[in-house]
Structure formats: C-alpha cells, structure tokens
Structure 1
Amino acid sequence: CPITMFWKFDLNTTSHVDKLLDKEDVTLEELMDEDDVLQECKAQNRRLLDFLCQQHCMEQLVTLITHEPPLDMDEKVRFKYPNTACELLTSDVPQINDKLGGDETLLNILYDFLDHEPPLNPLLASFFSKTIGNLIARKTEQVIAFLRKKDKFISLVLKHIDTSAMMDLLLRLISCVEPAALRHDVLNWLNEAKIIQRLVELIHSSQDEDRQSNASQTLCDIIRLSRDQSTQLQDVPEPDPLLTALESQECVEQLLRNMFDGEQTENCIVNGTQVLLTLLETRRSGVEGLMDSYTQGFERSYTVNSSILHGIEPRLKDFHQLLLSPPKRSAILTTIGVLEEPLGNARLHGSRLIAALLHTNTPSINQELCRLSTMDLLLDLFFKYTWNNFLHFQVELSIAAILSHSVQEGKPTPSEQESKEEAPSGNAAKAEPPANTPENLMVTHLFQKCCLVQRILDAWEANDKIQAEGGMRRGNMGHLTRIANAVVHNMEKGPMQAQISDFIKELPEDCRGRWESFVEETLTETNRRNTVDLVSTHHLHSSSEDEDIESAFPNELTLQQAFSEYQIQQMTANFVDQFGFNDEEFADQDDNINAPFDRIAEINFNIDADDDS
C-alpha cells in the first residue's frame, strides 16, 4: 500500500554530519571530509555550529587558511582543507561571523598572514581576502576598529600588492563599508595614510611589473567606484577624499614624472596612461557598459576635473615624443611578416590618451597639440602601420572628436573655468565665441597642416594600384573609408559644415576635382556595397544619401571604444602588434561608417532554426 511504501524509504534520515557529531572524539578534519558539511553549515545545523564555534576549532580553521599546508602532501588534496575552511568561515552564518569578528585572538591569527614574506601564496591570499572581506561587510565596526589599531596594515597590504587578492581587499574597504558615515571615516583614514600617493609611487620603472599593474588597476577601480558611489548617493555631505586626491593636479603630475622622468619603460608608461584614461572617462567603459552607452549616445555621466587637464597639458610634449620614439622593442613575427619596428603598447596607449584629450575639447590642449603637430604624427603612424586596427580606431576617434568640436564651442580653458567658478553665477553672461576659436584652430590644423583630404586620396589610389597588381588590400582601408565618410557628412550637415566646405573649396583645383570624383563615385559605390541588412536590423543609410539623419559617429564610436578598451585589457602587449585584420576576408563589410558589423549593440541574433539546420 502507499503508506507502507512511504515509510519504506525513511525520508527522515539523520545526516552523516549529525552521526559524526554523536561521536565523542570527532575531529574537525573528519567533519570537513563530509561532502555535506558546508550545506549543513549554511542550513544552520545547531549542533554543527556549536562544534565549529569552539575556540580551538575556530583557531584551527583560521590557521588552515593562513598557513601553507605540508609540502609532502599530494598536490590534488593539499589545499582541500584550507578551501573547505574558507568556505565555512565565509558561509555568512551569523554565529560564525559573530565569533570570528568579535574575537581578537582569531583576528590576530588572521591578520598575521600579512606578516609573511612576499610573494604570498595566491590561493591562501584569496582565502584571506575573502574572509576579511566577508567580515568587513558583516561585522564592519568591529573589524574596521581592529584594522585601524594596526599601524602597519596599509603598508603590509601595499607590500603584497603584487598579489591580486590584496587589491581586492583594498577595494572592499572602499566599497563595502556601511553606513555612509562609517564609510567616510574609512576613506579619511585611508586618505590620511596617503594610500593614493603610495599607489602612484608603485607605478615606477623601479618596481616589478605585477606591482605596477595591480597598483594601476587599483587606482582605476577606485576612480570608478568613487564616481559611481558619488552619483548614487546624493546625500553625501563631503566629497570623496580618495577621488579628490586622485583628481588633484599634484597627483597627476607625480604620475607623469614617474612615467617620463628617468628611465622610461613600456610597462610604466602603459600602466600610468591607463590611470590617466580612467581619470578622463566621462562614462563607464567596458563591455558591461555597452548597452548603456548605446542608449545614452554621447550623454556624459562625469565631468573631467580641470586639475587633471592642468597636470597633463605641460606633458603633451612627452606623449608626442613617445609617439616618435617609444621604448625600444625587438622585431616580431606577425601574421603578415616580420615587423622590424613594432608600434608597441606604449604608443597605442599614447594614441588612446590623445583621442581622450581631444574629446574633452579643451582649447589650450588643442592649441598645444597643433603646435606639436601631434595629429599629423598620428596620421603618419596610421599609414605606416597599415595592419594595426587598434591604432586605426584611435586615429578615427581623434578625427571624429575634431570634426564635432563645435558641439562644445566656446568651452573655457581650465584656468578660465576656475575664474568663472569663483565669480557669482548671476553675473555670468553667455558670449558668442570669436570666429577663430581654439576649437576651430584644430579643424584648420587637420585640413591644412595635416592635409587630411590629400592623404585620404593618396592612400586610396595607392591601395587601388596595389590591388590592381594582384597585391593584398591594405588593412587600414576600412577605417579610412569611415574617416572619409565622416568628412563628407560633416561637410554636408555637420557642426563645422561651413568651415570644412571652405577648406574643400580652397584645395588646389586638381586635388578638389579628385576629391569630388572620389566622393561621387568611389566612396558612394563603396558605401552602396557595404550598406546591407544583417538579420533583422533596421535599414542603414550611406553617408551620401540626402535624408537628414544623425551622424553615426558619436553613438557608434561610443560602442566601439567600449569594446576596443575591453579587447585591449584582455590581450598581451605583443598581441596589438602581432595580429591584424585583413579586410578582404570580411568582403569590405568594415569599410562603411554605417556598416552593421560595427554596430555591436544593434545586431540581433534571434534566428529561429532547428537544431539540425
């Protein structure tokens, strides 16, 4: 009968953990050998928690996660107990949290892990960081009070910053402390310990690469976390002291001194530039922000502090020199042959910084870039490194910024901005910018000094000749097409329409004729070939059509910049030199400014198909 069957299976069985706890001499190791010990712990098995929270058991658990297991153990099981111990200590059970967070003896055993000589075991360091991080979130006041009494805490964390877990621990201190008043106390404590300045000091050619890289990543994460929290918490009484320190002119100047004064290394320049790029961010970048970037277009979440620009401006000459003469690199084998003088990660990051600075549209910086002819140099590199699409995209971003300058026309220089902020807001009068503003000067520089139109025509004709002779299509032709489309669009209906049209009219007659023929025939045909619908995407117009459509540059480049930054973060330094795209393989789909393959967020892959098909 059904009742007999039910009792036959005995659904009220006692767990193996409870059976073990019936033994008088049960050991912690015996319990940790049970597969369901963690499940029973999270289910708050009272007998198990009482056993685990005994002083000797807690000390044993903390010791397991902070001391190397014996070397003579089988490697497959060597870290089994430390891993289980960490899972038990961070199971977020109140009884365990209370015991660990409220017992200074246990906290001291845990803290003593920082006294170990570097390098730390990365696995044990992750157990340590996870355990401390859980306590910071759950027993905040007790743990913060304990750490603040340790004079060497910050120094020891920085000593081990080459271990990623220490970077995570710092970020937990900054982001996981509640309530807001206590968080602000923690930030002031870290600021008084000069955590920002000490992290900047680690980005130096004298430090090993892991320390520099993790220090740079920590600073970048602090900037993003602080800005995000300042926008989310509207009732913050005071500014974030760590962000204030990072955005200060003194901090930027110190970082640049580390990068350029004395020995210059690619690693130091790249890591320092990454911090500067994060300071110049006006939105969250990265793949996780792609959809936000797409929906917001060019809407800016943050304002670039003028002190950052003040700090960078005198050093533009150093970035220009970097593009001219980077740290030496040996020849490398690429997909298209041996590259005797690779572009290098340092120059790629230099080009990223120039693009970011141009998007701030700061007149004094624009003037200095014109004086140095940095844009001319970037175009030289664009045409020299025909297979480095990472570089091509940054040059395209720079040109897009210059052509859209009048969107922010009349923006003051950093010094003018400060004087305006000091004046009463009621007296501010909106004056029309003079005809020859610094923003206009950058456009003039692009068309007259850099000879953008002539370069486009010459490069296109050279590529046609190579292909006519049976050669390979150049790898920068897709981006060159997009740049040409940008010029045409802005000449027809862009913010600098009148000025660009004047430059075209002032071209020598033969050059103007070549350009008009190129636009009417070659570029139009290229756009026609590349304007296709992909799956269910909406129709995309070529730039030669007369309908009044918005420029594809701001929205599209926002998406591409986010994706490009993500790619660069995931790749080794050599990858940006070793790998290049052959546009022929993609049947010219990359050529058009409106090419659907470039619209990352608009591609719809909802295809109904059978598994067999």
Structure 2
Amino acid sequence: LLTSDVSQMNDRLGEDESLLVRLYSFLLNDSPLNPLLASFFSKVLSILISRKPEQIVEFLKKKRDFVDLIIKHIGTSAIMDLLLRLLTCIEPPQPRQDVLNWLNEEQIIQRLVEIVHPSQEEDRHSNASQSLCEIVRLSRDQMLQIQNSTEPDPLLATLEKQEIIEQLLSNIFHKEKNESAIVSAIQILLTLLETRRPTFEGHIEICPPGMSHSACSVNKSVLEAIRGRLGSFHELLLEPPKKSVMKTTWGVLDPPVGNTRLNVIRLISSLLQTNTSSINEDLMELNSIGVILDMFFKYTWNNFLHTQVEICIALILASPFENTENSTITDQDSTGDNLLLKHLFQKCQLIERILDAWEMNEKKQAEGGRRHGYMGHLTRIANCIVHSTEKGPNSALVQQLLKDLPDAVRERWEAFCTSSLGETNKRNTVDL
C-alpha cells in the first residue's frame, strides 16, 4: 500500500516524523537485510524523496548514521538503489546540489572505494562499484543537461582525484589477488574513461573515438593514477588470480582466460582510446600488446577476448598523431612516426602472426578439422590493416611498415590479400 504512491498517504507519511522514524528504523537491522523488505523500504523512501524532497532530505541529514547505514547495507541491491535514487529523484537544481554536497561531506565516495577491497564480500564489491559507476554517469549526464551549471559535481570531482584512484588501485593490488575486487575496480576505471556512451561492444570505427568530439574528456589525474599501476595490470595478464582447470567440449583450458584478464584487456583498449603518449610508451615497454596478441591465438574459442584484441589493434591502426581533445600527442619519433604502430608491426610481428595463423587454419581445415574460432576476427583485423594502408591518419606509415617487412613476408602478405583475404571477403558479402 505504501508503495502505491497515493498523494494523501505520502503527505501523511512525509509530514509525521514519528512515522518516518519508524520507517527509517528498518535500516537499523543487522546485515544482511531481507531483500524483499529492503526493496519495499527503498521504494517507499524513493517515492517520498521524489514527492517531498526537502522534508525527507532534511530528515535524513538529521540522522547522523544514515550514510553509515547505507554503507553497511550496500551489499543489498535495494539499498544501493536507494542511494542512487537520492541522486536522481530530486529535480530542482539547488536541492539536488545540496544533497551532492552533503553526501560529499559525508565522504560517500571514499567509503564506497574502501569497500572495493579483497577483505570485503563479493556482493559489496559489486554494488559499491556499480554505485560509483552510476554516480559518474549520472553526473556526466547532468553536466550535459545543465551546460551553464556554475557548481561542478562534487562527487564526480572527488572520484576523479588522483589520490582516490590510487587508493582504489592500492586496495586491489593488496597482497592477495581477488578477482571480484579487481573486476569491480576495473569497471569503475572503465566508466571514468568512457568519453561517451559506448556503441555496441565489438563495433570498430576506423576513425577511433579519440578523434570524434566526445562529451567529456578523460581527467588527466585518472590517467596518471592508472599509469602508475600499469605494471601491476600487466602482471595480471601474466599471473591472473588462480583458476581451476576448465574442461570444455573441445579440450582443457589451463588456466582459462578468466574475467580478470578480460577486464584488464578492456582497460587497455580504453587507455588506447585516450591516445596518451606516456601510457602508450609504458604499454610498449611492458609489451602488453604482445601479451594480449599471444592470448588471442592461444584461446582459440574465446570470442569475448578476440573482440577486445581486435578493438585494441584497430585503435592503434587508426590513432591520430595528435589528439587535440586531450591535448596529448601520440608517441612519435623524430620522423613523426607513431611508435606504438611500429611496435605492433615490428616487435609484435602482427603480419607474420596473421599469415601463420591463417595458414595453420587452412591446413587444419584441409585435414578435415574445424575452423579456428578467431578466424572471423582475424579477417576483420586483416581488412583493417588493408584499409589503413589506403586511408586514415597512418596510411603512409602502414605502407612503409609493410614495405620494410622481409621480402618473403611481404610477398606472402600481398598474395594473401589478393587470394585468401579477397576470397573470404567475397564469400562474406554473398547474401545467405
């Protein structure tokens, strides 16, 4: 009845403090809360917040333990929803700003970040991470709607501080590797690195998002904090949290790719999108691109992985020399060449690996075996290289890198482009 949003009932409940105290007392129960009751509680309070924002917020502010209790019960999804409703249900700009300032004074961001720690439970990791991601998105959406807002969003400003991100990263790179905490933290970083709403996953634009006009640029302090821990992320690619051997219908995975490594590669792809010189340099030094390329070919059937690696390669191929948006300049040597692109062709031997994998697959199929699971992605990567030689910011360099290949490799590549790749493309364009 209380959740039916009847104005007379809302008035009665919102104006009688003794009833509000009684409703509020639900939060005083021990964790974990009953999920069904918690969802009713959250719904009733959300309705009251949207109908009577000033009275309810005033009431909650008087309750000194409100934020403590929200943090205590954040593992219950309905309580996380309540926190987010507090940010979305208040329409007038000034009361909304007051709520943001109040939550910021209560250090809600710092306390949510503290929860993303190996010592905490998985539900708490997940909900704290989701809360922070939603806070970022809500803040950015709000900034887009109110272009002339004089006051910045204090919660977003706090979360984007370098020391807060460093704290988050030091939590997850604590002694033990906890997959849930690592993945939750990476989700927060990915949201902070989002310069706009992503299109469907796996969609590759030849002109990368870094070149288009995004709504919000990535905060430098976020990039700096991540950069300081790139070595630790790279280490996760080599030594992920322990996973038991996985038996599948086609063989044994030891170890499986795992959610941690997949998310680290997502993070690398987001970092490449920012096209930041110092980060590109570090990725080259660590040879992270080489490692993820090894994984691409090792895990033949993991298309989630293949998609991310494909995105990384497409971003490197299409990254412009200069990203005016973030006022960063892509790595160039004295001749103005894109060093990361050179690294991809020379150190990672992308062309050789494509040719070898293609030949191995054809040989296997000729013997009656199954087509490798990454072949569709490999076709798209090869097409992306061909496209990059014809147009795009790096066409001259890609042409030069192809010319610099050993003669035998170059001839194989040229033959491959006209025969195997051409035939595959023709076959792929035929209507089913």
Category of TM-score, reference length = shorter chain: over 0.9
The alpha-carbon deviation at position 215 of structure 1 amounts to 0.5
How has the CA–CA distance of structure 1 residues 274 and 153 changed in structure 2, closer, same or farther, with 3 Å as cutoff? same
State the alpha-carbon separation in 2 of the partners of residues 412 and 217 from structure 1.
26
Matched letter for residue 311 of structure 1: A
**1:357-372 alignment, distance < 5 Å:** 357-372=271-286
State the alpha-carbon separation in 2 of the partners of residues 95 and 238 from structure 1.
36
Q: 1:246 aligns with which of 159, 164, 180?
A: 159
Q: 1:311 aligns with which of 218, 225, 241?
A: 225
Instruction: Determine the structure 1 residue equivalent to 2:29.
Output: 116
Instruction: Please give the secondary structure, in 2, of the residue aligned with 1:166.
Output: helix
Instruction: Determine the structure 1 residue equivalent to 2:421.
Output: 523
Instruction: Determine the structure 1 residue equivalent to 2:390.
Output: 492
Q: 1:218 aligns with which of 99, 123, 131?
A: 131
State the alpha-carbon separation in 2 of the partners of residues 410 and 306 from structure 1.
14
State the alpha-carbon separation in 2 of the partners of residues 172 and 464 from structure 1.
55
Instruction: Determine the structure 2 residue equivalent to 1:398.
Output: 312
Matched letter for residue 486 of structure 1: C
The alpha-carbon deviation at position 465 of structure 1 amounts to 1.2
The alpha-carbon deviation at position 407 of structure 1 amounts to 6.4
State the alpha-carbon separation in 2 of the partners of residues 194 and 468 from structure 1.
63
State the alpha-carbon separation in 1 of the partners of residues 342 and 238 from structure 2.
23
Matched letter for residue 165 of structure 2: V
Instruction: Please give the secondary structure, in 1, of the residue aligned with 2:229.
Output: helix
State the alpha-carbon separation in 2 of the partners of residues 403 and 93 from structure 1.
58
Instruction: Determine the structure 2 residue equivalent to 1:331.
Output: 245
- The percent identity for this pair of structures is 58
State the alpha-carbon separation in 1 of the partners of residues 330 and 84 from structure 2.
45
Alignment pair present for 1:279 and 2:192: yes
Alignment pair present for 1:209 and 2:107: no
Deviates more, 1:121-130 or 1:229-238: 229-238
The alpha-carbon deviation at position 505 of structure 1 amounts to 0.7
State the alpha-carbon separation in 2 of the partners of residues 229 and 210 from structure 1.
28
Deviates more, 1:491-500 or 1:450-459: 491-500
Matched letter for residue 349 of structure 1: N
State the alpha-carbon separation in 1 of the partners of residues 133 and 140 from structure 2.
11
How has the CA–CA distance of structure 1 residues 255 and 316 changed in structure 2, closer, same or farther, with 3 Å as cutoff? same
The alpha-carbon deviation at position 412 of structure 1 amounts to 6.4
**1:561-576 alignment, distance < 5 Å:** none
The alpha-carbon deviation at position 320 of structure 1 amounts to 0.7
Instruction: Please give the secondary structure, in 2, of the residue aligned with 1:90.
Output: helix
Q: Figure out how many residues of one structure are paired with residues of the other and give that number.
A: 425
Instruction: Determine the structure 2 residue equivalent to 1:159.
Output: 72
Aligned partners of 2:332 and 2:339 also within 8 Å: no
Matched letter for residue 487 of structure 1: I
Instruction: Determine the structure 2 residue equivalent to 1:462.
Output: 360
Q: 1:473 aligns with which of 364, 371, 381?
A: 371
Q: 1:501 aligns with which of 386, 390, 399?
A: 399
Unaligned 5+ segments in structure 1 are 1-87, 291-295, 415-430, 535-613
How has the CA–CA distance of structure 1 residues 433 and 281 changed in structure 2, closer, same or farther, with 3 Å as cutoff? closer
Alignment pair present for 1:140 and 2:53: yes
Instruction: Determine the structure 2 residue equivalent to 1:446.
Output: 344
How has the CA–CA distance of structure 1 residues 432 and 109 changed in structure 2, closer, same or farther, with 3 Å as cutoff? closer
Q: Deviation string for 1:190-242 (max 9, x for gaps)?
A: 00000001000000100010011111111111111110011111232210000
Instruction: Determine the structure 1 residue equivalent to 2:206.
Output: none
State the alpha-carbon separation in 1 of the partners of residues 375 and 138 from structure 2.
39
Q: Deviation string for 1:308-353 (max 9, x for gaps)?
A: 1011001111111100110110011223232221010000000000
Matched letter for residue 318 of structure 1: S
Q: TM-score, normalised by structure 2?
A: 0.94
Alignment pair present for 1:176 and 2:74: no
Matched letter for residue 195 of structure 1: I
State the alpha-carbon separation in 1 of the partners of residues 397 and 200 from structure 2.
36
How has the CA–CA distance of structure 1 residues 501 and 285 changed in structure 2, closer, same or farther, with 3 Å as cutoff? closer
Aligned partners of 2:230 and 2:282 also within 8 Å: yes
State the alpha-carbon separation in 1 of the partners of residues 356 and 334 from structure 2.
30
Instruction: Determine the structure 2 residue equivalent to 1:600.
Output: none
Matched letter for residue 445 of structure 1: H
**1:257-272 alignment, distance < 5 Å:** 257-272=170-185
Matched letter for residue 185 of structure 1: D
Matched letter for residue 499 of structure 1: L
**1:47-126 alignment, distance < 5 Å:** 88-126=1-39
Q: 2:168 aligns with which of 255, 259, 264?
A: 255
Matched letter for residue 441 of structure 1: L
The alpha-carbon deviation at position 179 of structure 1 amounts to 1.3
Q: Note the aligned Cα RMSD (angstroms).
A: 2.1
Deviates more, 1:267-276 or 1:433-442: 433-442
State the alpha-carbon separation in 2 of the partners of residues 312 and 433 from structure 1.
18
Alignment pair present for 1:129 and 2:42: yes
How has the CA–CA distance of structure 1 residues 157 and 286 changed in structure 2, closer, same or farther, with 3 Å as cutoff? farther
State the alpha-carbon separation in 2 of the partners of residues 146 and 498 from structure 1.
65
Instruction: Please give the secondary structure, in 2, of the residue aligned with 1:333.
Output: strand
State the alpha-carbon separation in 1 of the partners of residues 12 and 403 from structure 2.
80
Matched letter for residue 132 of structure 2: L
State the alpha-carbon separation in 2 of the partners of residues 485 and 281 from structure 1.
27
State the alpha-carbon separation in 2 of the partners of residues 439 and 132 from structure 1.
58
Instruction: Please give the secondary structure, in 2, of the residue aligned with 1:394.
Output: helix
How has the CA–CA distance of structure 1 residues 433 and 341 changed in structure 2, closer, same or farther, with 3 Å as cutoff? closer
Deviates more, 1:169-178 or 1:525-534: 525-534
Matched letter for residue 395 of structure 1: V
Unaligned 5+ segments in structure 2 are 204-208
Instruction: Please give the secondary structure, in 2, of the residue aligned with 1:198.
Output: helix
Instruction: Please give the secondary structure, in 2, of the residue aligned with 1:118.
Output: coil
